[in-house]
Structure 1
Amino acid sequence: MHIEKMEELFRQWLQEKNFLAVKKEMSRLPVQDVAEILNHLDAKNSLLAFRLLPKDGAAEVFSYLSDKIRVAFSQMIEEDELKSLVEDLFFDDKIDFLEEMPANVVKKILQTTPESERRLINQFLNYPEDSAGSIMTIEFVDLKADMTVAQALTHIRYTAPKKETIYTCYVIDQERHLLGVVSLKDLVVADPDTRIEDLMDKQVIAVKTHDDREFVSSLFKKYDLLSMPVVDQENRLVGIITIDDVMDVLEAENTEDIQRMGGISPTEESYISQSPFTMAKNRLFWLMALMISATFTGRIIQKFEDFLQNMVILAAFIPMLMDTGGNAGSQSSTMVIRGLALGEIKTRDVFRVVAKEFMVSVIVGLSLAGLNFLRLVVIEQVSTTISLVVSLTLVVTVIMAKIVGGLLPLLAKMVKIDPAIMASPLITTIVDAMALVVYFYIAGLFIKI
C-alpha cells in the first residue's frame, strides 16, 4: 500500500484509538517506512504510535526519524526513556542525533553517559562537520594478525551483535595501527588453521579523520566499497565509515548543490518543515544580489537609448538574445559543475573544457543563427541587414555564454569556492550584459544612424 494511504490509515486508527491495528501494521512494515509515516504525523500522534513499537525495534525506527520529530520526542518523553533510546542506537547514529539536538538535551544525555563513552562522544562532536571523522562509527570488528581463522570467527560471533557491520574486518597490532583487511567471505571459506596475517589484504584504502567527506564518497564510488577504515595521523584505526552514511552524504551534497544552483542558501531542513520566513531568508540574499547585478544591463540599454529610439525594431530582439545566451551558459555550467562533482573534470582540465565548449558553441551558434536568419527574413519579413545583425549577435553570444558557463565553475573550484555558486542565475546575469554590448556594437557596424 502507498505510504500516503498508510499515513491516513494511521491517523484514522489513532483518532479511533485502534492501537492494536497500528501496532500490528508497524510490525509488518520495514522500519524505514514506519519512520516515514511517523515523520508526517503531528508530534503527539507520532509519539503515541512510537510507544507502541517493541523496545528492540524502537531504537532502529528512532534512527530514521527526522530531526524535527526527534527533537519533539526529546522534549516530550521522560529522561530515562530518552536515555534508553539513545543507548540502543549505533554509535554513528547517536552522534548524528546529538549533533542536531538542543544543547540542554545533549547535556542531559551526556550527564548519564559513562565517562569513557562521554569522552568519545565529545571527540566525535568536535570533528569538523564535513570531515570523515564526523560520519564514522567505532562499531567495527578488529582482529589481530596472529589469530587463526577459527579464532577470528569465534571472536566475530561473540562481538557481532554490537557491531554495525561484520562483512569487512580490520587487522590491527597492539598499538591499533591498521595492518590490513579481511572479508567475512574469505574467513568462511579459508582453512580454520590459517593465520589472519596470511589471509589479509595489506593494500588498504583508508582515509584520515579530517579528510573531506566528499572525498570519502568519491573513494567509495571509485573502489565499490561497503565500508572504509578511518585512521589518525599515526595510521591508528579510530573508526570506519559505512555505505549507508556515504549515501546520506551524497544526498546532502547533491541537495546543497541543487540549492546553490537555484540561487538559494543551502539548508538541511526539508521543504515542508521550513517556515515561510526561513525560506524567504534563504532566497532573499541571492535575489537581492542578482537584482543589483542586473542593473548593469539597464545601464547598457540606457547608454544606447538614442540608438534604440532611432531603430526601435532592435529592441524587439533583446529578450530572445538574452534568453538564448543565458540558456546556453546554463547548459555548459550545469555539465561542468556535475563533472566536477563526479570527479570527471579536474581544475587542470580548464583548457580542454574551454576548447570543447568553444567547438560546441560554434556548432550550436551557427545552427541557431541560420535558423533565426531564415525565420526573420521569410516569416517575420525583417530586413536582411537587421536579420544579419541579430543572427551574428546570436553566434557571438552563444560562444561567449558557453565559454563563460564552462570556465566560471572551474575558476570557482580553483579558489576553493563551491562551483555550484557559478550556476544559472549568476551566469545569466553576466551573459545578459555581454550579449547587449555585443548586440549594440554589431548593430553600430552594420547600421549607420
Structure 2
Amino acid sequence: MQKLFNVLNKLMESGEYARLKDELNSEQPVNVAEYFEELTAEKQLFVFRLLTKDMAADVFSYMDSDTQEHIVHSITDREVRNIVDEMFLDDTVDFLEEAPANLVKKVLRNTDAETRKLINRFLNYPENSAGSLMTIEFVKLRSSMTVATAMKQIKQTGTDKETIYTCYVIDDQRKLIGVVPLRTLICASDDETIEELMQEDIVSVLTTDDQEEVANIFKKYNWMALPVTDTEGRLVGIITVDDIVDVIEQETTEDMEKMAALIPSDEEYLKTPVMILAKNRIVWLSLLMVSGTLSSMVIVRYSSLIETVVILSGFIPIITDTGGNAGSQASTMIIRGMALGEIQLKDVLKVVWKEIRVGVICGLALGLMNMLKMTLVNSDAGFWVNLSVSVSMALVVVLAKTIGCFLPILAKAFKLDPAMMAGPLITTVVDVIALIIYFTLAAIFVL
C-alpha cells in the first residue's frame, strides 16, 4: 500500500495531475480512501476533486468520519448533491449518524424530497437495529414475471442496486413471498415464471431486531444479503454482508473492551483524546479498586494467622493468580459460546457441571504439581504449609471455573452483556474466595 501512496505523492509533487487523476480513478475506492489519511486537509480537497462522480461517492463511503466531515464542509452544495446522488442510501445514513448537525443540514438541504424523506426515516430507526443497517437498493420482482422479463429489469436497474445476486419477490401489498438467486434466473428458461423458481422458505429479520442477532443469522446461513421486513411482513430493505462485517468488528471490539473493564468507545485509539481514554477507564478501575478492598479485609481478618506463620503471605499471589486465570479461562469460553449461539440460558446446568469436572481435573493436576514443586523448592516452609497451599490451589481452581462460567450466564439472564463478567471482575471475585479458602485451610493444617 505504501508503494501506491509513494507513486501518487510523486505524481502530485511533479505536477502530473492528469496521470494522478487516471491513477486515482483506476484504483480500488478503499485504497484511495486510505490514501486520504496520508494527506493534509488542503491536499485532501484537491485530490477529491480529481475523482469522477461515481468514484468520489465510493471513496467517500470508505473515509473515516473526520475526513468525511472536512470534505462536506469544504465542497460546494452541487458537489454534495453529486455525492449523495451516487452513494447508496445506507452509506449516506451511516455518515449522517456520526456527523454534526450543521453538516447534516447541509447534506439534507442538497437532496431531493424523496431522498430526504427516506434518510429521515432511516435515522429514526433505533441505533444498532436492523433498520439502521439496511439499504433500499435491491432487486424486487413479481411472481407473475417470466425469467426474460425479470432479467430485462435487472439489466435496466442493476447498476443502481447494492446487490443483484439475490432477488426478492413481493406481492401487491409489498409483502415478501419469496427469493430467487440470480444464478437460478441465468440457468432457467426465458418462459419460466418467477413463481416456479422462487424459494418460499424465507429467513428475514424485523427492522427492530438487534444487529447482533442479524450478525448471528449471517454467520449461520453464510448469506450475502438478508431481507428486512416490518411487523406486517412488508419488505422494506435488505442488509448486505459488507455491513455485517462492520457490525461483527464493532461487537467484537465492544466485547473486548468490556472484558478489559473499559467503557466501549467508537473512536479510533489515536484519535481519541487522552481525557476521554482516562474517563473510559477510571470508572471501572474505581469500582474494581473498591471491590478490591474486600481482599484487604480478608487479609486483615486473618492477620493474626499471618503474624504467627509469616511464610503464608509469600504464597498469596500464586493462589490468587491461579484462581483468577482459571476463572478468566472459563468465562472467556462461555462468553464466546454465548456470542456464537452455542450456549443458551437453558444450558446453565450442563455448562456448570462440565466446568466443575474440568475444574476438578485442572485443580488436582495443579495441586499435585505445586506440592511437588514446593517439596523440592520450598522444603523449609514445612509439609503442612505446602499442603495448605496445594489443597487451596486445587479447591480455588474448581470454584474459579464454576464462578467463571456461571457469572456470564447470570448476566445474560438479567439482560446484561456477558462480556462484563470477565477478566478483572472475575479475578476480583475469585481473589476474595481464594483468600478465604487459603487462610481457612492454613488455620486447620498449620496451627
TM-score category, normalised to shorter length: over 0.9
Query: How far apart in 2 are the matches of 1:364 and 1:317?
Result: 19
What SS does structure 2 have at the residue aligned with 1:267? coil
Decide whether the 8 Å contact of 2:411 with 2:421 is kept in 1: yes
User: Post-superposition shift, 1:375?
Assistant: 0.9
Note closer, same or farther for the CA distance 1:124–1:352 as it changes in structure 2 (3 Å cut): same
What SS does structure 1 have at the residue aligned with 2:351? helix
What SS does structure 2 have at the residue aligned with 1:294? helix
1:286 aligned residue = 284
Note closer, same or farther for the CA distance 1:119–1:60 as it changes in structure 2 (3 Å cut): same
Note closer, same or farther for the CA distance 1:73–1:229 as it changes in structure 2 (3 Å cut): same
User: Post-superposition shift, 1:340?
Assistant: 0.7
1:410 aligned residue = 409
1:257 aligned residue = 255
How many correspondences in the alignment? 446
Decide whether the 8 Å contact of 2:327 with 2:426 is kept in 1: yes
2:400 aligned residue = 401
Give the alignment of 1:240-319 within 5 angstroms. Answer: 240-319=238-317
My pick for the range that moved more, 373-382 or 44-53, is 44-53
Query: How far apart in 1 are the matches of 2:309 and 2:338?
Result: 44
Query: How far apart in 1 are the matches of 2:439 and 2:306?
Result: 9
Note closer, same or farther for the CA distance 1:369–1:354 as it changes in structure 2 (3 Å cut): same
Query: How far apart in 2 are the matches of 1:174 and 1:162?
Result: 23
Equivalent of 2:173 in 167, 175, 179:
175
Give the alignment of 1:194-213 within 5 angstroms. Answer: 194-213=192-211
My pick for the range that moved more, 17-26 or 404-413, is 17-26
What SS does structure 2 have at the residue aligned with 1:265? coil
5+ long unaligned stretches in structure 2: none
Percent of matched pairs sharing the same residue: 47
Decide whether the 8 Å contact of 2:53 with 2:82 is kept in 1: no
Note closer, same or farther for the CA distance 1:305–1:107 as it changes in structure 2 (3 Å cut): same
Query: How far apart in 2 are the matches of 1:309 and 1:191?
Result: 90
Query: How far apart in 2 are the matches of 1:218 and 1:420?
Result: 17
Equivalent of 1:81 in 79, 83, 103:
79
Query: How far apart in 2 are the matches of 1:22 and 1:350?
Result: 61
Query: How far apart in 2 are the matches of 1:8 and 1:404?
Result: 54
User: Post-superposition shift, 1:374?
Assistant: 0.8
2:387 aligned residue = 388
User: Post-superposition shift, 1:14?
Assistant: 4.5
Equivalent of 2:366 in 344, 365, 368:
368
User: Post-superposition shift, 1:356?
Assistant: 0.8
2:138 aligned residue = 140
What SS does structure 2 have at the residue aligned with 1:179? strand
1:340 aligned residue = 338
Query: How far apart in 2 are the matches of 1:314 and 1:446?
Result: 12
User: Post-superposition shift, 1:162?
Assistant: 1.1
User: Post-superposition shift, 1:79?
Assistant: 2.5
1:230 aligned residue = 228
Give the alignment of 1:420-439 within 5 angstroms. Answer: 420-439=419-438
Query: How far apart in 1 are the matches of 2:70 and 2:197?
Result: 49
Note closer, same or farther for the CA distance 1:438–1:267 as it changes in structure 2 (3 Å cut): same
What SS does structure 2 have at the residue aligned with 1:241? strand
Equivalent of 1:98 in 88, 96, 103:
96
CA offsets, 1:152-201, max 9 Å, x none? 11111111111111111111111101110111111111111111111111
Q: Under a length normalisation based on structure 1, what TM-score does the superposition of the two structures give?
A: 0.96
What SS does structure 1 have at the residue aligned with 2:270? coil
What SS does structure 1 have at the residue aligned with 2:180? strand
5+ long unaligned stretches in structure 1: none
Query: How far apart in 1 are the matches of 2:309 and 2:18?
Result: 78
What SS does structure 1 have at the residue aligned with 2:269? coil
User: Post-superposition shift, 1:378?
Assistant: 1.2
What SS does structure 2 have at the residue aligned with 1:272? helix
Decide whether the 8 Å contact of 1:7 with 1:41 is kept in 2: no
Note closer, same or farther for the CA distance 1:439–1:189 as it changes in structure 2 (3 Å cut): same
What SS does structure 1 have at the residue aligned with 2:95? helix
Query: How far apart in 2 are the matches of 1:305 and 1:10?
Result: 69
2:326 aligned residue = 328
1:108 aligned residue = 106
Q: What amino acid is aligned across from residue 145 of structure 2 in structure 1? A: M
Note closer, same or farther for the CA distance 1:53–1:411 as it changes in structure 2 (3 Å cut): same
1:166 aligned residue = 164
CA offsets, 1:287-330, max 9 Å, x none? 11111111111111111112111111000000111111111111
Decide whether the 8 Å contact of 1:127 with 1:134 is kept in 2: yes
What is the alpha-carbon root mean square deviation over aligned residues? 1.6
What SS does structure 1 have at the residue aligned with 2:232? coil
CA offsets, 1:346-387, max 9 Å, x none? 111111111111111111111111111111111221311100
Note closer, same or farther for the CA distance 1:117–1:333 as it changes in structure 2 (3 Å cut): same
Query: How far apart in 2 are the matches of 1:15 and 1:286?
Result: 49
User: Post-superposition shift, 1:55?
Assistant: 2.3
User: Post-superposition shift, 1:108?
Assistant: 1.8
Equivalent of 1:152 in 150, 155, 163:
150
User: Post-superposition shift, 1:56?
Assistant: 2.1
What SS does structure 1 have at the residue aligned with 2:416? coil
My pick for the range that moved more, 22-31 or 356-365, is 22-31
User: Post-superposition shift, 1:12?
Assistant: 5.9
Q: What amino acid is aligned across from residue 444 of structure 1 in structure 2? A: A
User: Post-superposition shift, 1:29?
Assistant: 3.0
